[in-house]
Chains A and B, each alone.
Chain A
């Protein structure tokens, strides 16, 4: 089976940098994704890492180390609108390589 661990809550101030970690255990691995969900809304895709290293998309970056079964999402220049839940998700070894989501990290950005 698959399991993912990420912190339940993170708090930071506007303009700061925050890192949300994700460790996973999976039989087979086809990439780590990150999704953002504002309260009661639709999750939206943020980033994907299929190989080791850093992927950068504007203020957001995501990192993967397959040997450590570890990844993180880095959010820079935090804005109030970044307050949301962030989920890591792995594509595993099932024949359909379906996503398994972590429980999410609630990020609160303070003024």
Chain B
């Protein structure tokens, strides 16, 4: 079945450490996204990518970095510069992005990141 796979499900970060969250999709979607969700809050966009080798900052990109070397993969690195990284991280994809028609996003099951 096609879908989005995020790993790991739970991740712990030590002070000063960078950690990388994996996101893989086999839906053949061009666009991919990373969101952060805090308890009782909505989803906030960290980074997005409309096509391979291109990505753009979202609303809360500081302290995060991404790469898009392959269409199916969009890993997110939470750097030591992100002082409050504890959150639920969701990866999503859609067929394409900059289109006036509906482009529903398909989400992975998320990674829960905590500070040790």
Contact = CB atoms under 8 A, between A and B. Distances in A.
B106 A97 contact: no
Interface stretch (B11-19, B36-44, B72-80): B36-44
Contact of B102 (A8, A35, A48, A87): A48
A43 B97 CA distance: 18
B116 interface: no
A50 B101 contact: yes
Interface stretch (A12-20, A63-71, A74-82, A98-106): A98-106
A99 B40 CA distance: 19
Contact of A31 (B35, B102, B106, B108): B102
Contacts of A45: 104-106
Nearest to A9: B40
Given A103-B42, A104-B42, A96 B56 contact: yes
Contacts of A30: 100
Interface of B: 33, 35, 40-45, 48, 50, 56, 58, 88, 90, 92, 97-110, 112
A33 interface: yes
A95 B98 contact: yes
Contact of B110 (A4, A42, A102): A42
Complex A-B, nearest 7 residue pairs according to Cβ-Cβ distance, in ascending order: A45-B104, A101-B42, A42-B107, A48-B102, A101-B43, A103-B42, A43-B107
26 contacts: A8-B40, A30-B100, A33-B102, A35-B105, A40-B88, A42-B107, A42-B110, A43-B43, A43-B107, A44-B107, A45-B104, A45-B105, A50-B102, A95-B98, A96-B50, A97-B97, A97-B100, A98-B33, A98-B58, A101-B35, A101-B43, A101-B44, A102-B42, A103-B40, A103-B41, A104-B40
